[in-house]
Structure 1
């Protein structure tokens, strides 16, 4: 029985140590890019020695990857959610953990952004040039809106930001400008001439 208790205690201690290391990395990400973070800085902030760090991670990118993986694995957005409900749920997770948002949006880590894309566009659509470019356009715009949101301190709630993104996506504020689009008239005439 005593052997089991020691194992449980050691397991708890290992999880705690890993958690403080991850928190140190996330805290440092608020000040600098991941490439500039050193193991020494993490150890000082987490109040551990280098041997302890290397017991759990081979380097800072390995720690960062484990943080990403845990977050991705924790995502549990119901399949019946609409893309905007999914976006709001995802934003709420980042809102609750602003340090993690730096990893996704300021650092621009692709695995988190890829997962976000899967959440927002779960159904495969037939590919054509417009769909392909539209997806790239929307995701790049979304990533930059979220990056700005994080850098400005997440002033809007996840719900407010979801509403803003919806307005942007459907171009509600700039739709009246379409009447000034001479290029669209040119394209329409070109199609008729073909």
Structure 2
């Protein structure tokens, strides 16, 4: 992709995030997006079908980028849970604006579902539940932990990231482990 296309997409994404911070997705028009980005509508349509397509592509990029980032960590099994969570928190810090916007009130609820699906898949890949919980209980537990973790992250973002990524990772993993230990007792 040439520099002009990259620049155009970057400006459109930045303008879109700005608008998404101010209002709901359904209230954003391509016209106002183009005005804010100082881009012709025809240029916008050469890249995206509409504002929903732009959002979808941004979400896909974040999910792919997050997955690549986490896969590149090269952690051992013993280190994995807390360090992967810490790496995720560091990723969020590096991409604060886009994560805050996409996970915020004006974002797309579908994005939360995508993030949850990726997180649940990583839990299943780790194999940490296979020998300890039945498949149906493991599914409920992973849904509970991932949902709770995402909402803890949202709260952390709303509070201005008042804790370090390491502190947040420790907290999230402590919550998850205490819930897991309670499940094993019952």
What's the TM-score bracket when you normalise by the shorter of the two chains? Answer: 0.7 to 0.9
The 1:37/1:91 distance shift into structure 2, 3 A limit, reads farther
Confirm or deny that 1:85 pairs with 2:80.
no
Confirm or deny that 1:36 pairs with 2:39.
no
| Cα shift at 1:120 | 4.7
Confirm or deny that 1:76 pairs with 2:69.
yes
The answer to whether the Cα contact below 8 Å between 1:87 and 1:119 also exists between their aligned partners in 2 is no
Of 154, 157, 160, which aligns to 2:161? 154
Distance in 2, Cα, partners of 1:26 & 1:113 = 21
Structure 2: tracts of 5 or more residues without a match: none
The 1:79/1:34 distance shift into structure 2, 3 A limit, reads farther
- Tell me the TM-score normalised to structure 2 length: 0.76
**Mean CA deviation greater in 59-68 or 152-161:** 152-161
Distance in 1, Cα, partners of 2:27 & 2:120 = 28
**Bigger relative CO (Cα 8 Å, ≥ 6 apart):** 2
Distance in 1, Cα, partners of 2:163 & 2:36 = 30
**Mean CA deviation greater in 127-136 or 117-126:** 117-126
Report how many aligned residue pairs link the two structures. Answer: 166
**CA RMSD, 1 decimal:** 2.6
The 1:120/1:96 distance shift into structure 2, 3 A limit, reads farther
Distance in 1, Cα, partners of 2:82 & 2:25 = 30
Deviation per CA, 1:43-73, whole angstroms, max 9, x where unpaired?
1221112121111100112111211222233
| Cα shift at 1:22 | 1.0
- Tell me the TM-score normalised to structure 1 length: 0.73
| Cα shift at 1:98 | 1.5
In structure 2, the residue corresponding to 1:23 is in which secondary structure? helix
Deviation per CA, 1:100-157, whole angstroms, max 9, x where unpaired?
2135422341223322333455324445332121111111211211121122222222
Confirm or deny that 1:47 pairs with 2:38.
yes
Structure 1: tracts of 5 or more residues without a match: 1-7, 179-187, 189-194
Match of 2:139 in 1: 132
The 1:150/1:33 distance shift into structure 2, 3 A limit, reads farther
